[in-house]
């Protein structure tokens, strides 16, 4: 493993994320990616579709920096509907793994009143570290 996952002794393991990650190397900061394509056009208003595209956008930005999903150490999700996020987790899991593999960084998810792009339902930012 490239980064060290931090799991306090006696804690139940988290599902789909890490409690913490220790890393050393070149840091990459991926600005919030939303569910539109490279031409900044929305292809769908569906939450899962937008998540999939946002995740694939993150992979492309990471690739541009010489990194991949395995280098992620932190991910922050901003969603406009917490209930939809929770209700559709079983659909989101396969979409996440298709884009990110089985790489689960420290994650935070918060509900926001709105995102800057009116049609956006999710925005995701990532911090990655390429080891020395």
What tokens were used for 103? 């790489």
Please give the Cα distance from 43 to 12 (Å, whole number).
39
* pTM of structure: 0.92
pLDDT for res 16 = 85
What was the pLDDT predicted at 26? Answer: 95
pLDDT at 72 over 70: yes
CB atoms within 10 A of CB 35: 27
Structure confidence at residue 97 (pLDDT): 97
- Which of 7-16, 29-38, 94-103, 109-118 is predicted with the least confidence, judged by mean pLDDT? 7-16
pLDDT greater than 60 at residue 76: yes
Q: Report domain extents, the chain.
A: 74-131
Q: How far apart are CA 26 and CA 11, in angstroms?
A: 30
Distance (Å, rounded) from C-alpha 123 to C-alpha 54? 7
d(CA 27, CA 16): 22
What's the pLDDT tens digit per position in 1-56?
A: 578 889 999 999 988 899 899 999 999 999 999 999 999 999 999 999 999 999 99
pLDDT above 70 as % of the chain: 99
How confident is the model at residue 57, as a pLDDT? 98
């Amino acid at each position: 493993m490239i980064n060290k996952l931090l799991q306090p002794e006696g804690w139940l393991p988290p599902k789909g994320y890490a409690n913490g990650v220790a890393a050393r190397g070149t840091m990459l900061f991926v600005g919030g990616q939303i569910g539109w394509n490279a031409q900044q056009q929305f292809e769908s208003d569906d939450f899962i579709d937008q998540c999939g595209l946002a995740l694939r956008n993150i992979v492309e930005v990471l690739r541009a920096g010489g990194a991949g999903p395995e280098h992620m150490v932190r991910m922050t999700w901003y969603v406009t509907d917490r209930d939809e996020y929770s209700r559709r987790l079983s659909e989101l899991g396969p979409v996440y793994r298709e884009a990110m593999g089985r790489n689960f960084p420290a994650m935070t998810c918060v509900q926001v009143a709105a995102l800057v792009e009116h049609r956006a339902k999710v925005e995701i930012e990532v911090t990655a570290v390429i080891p020395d």
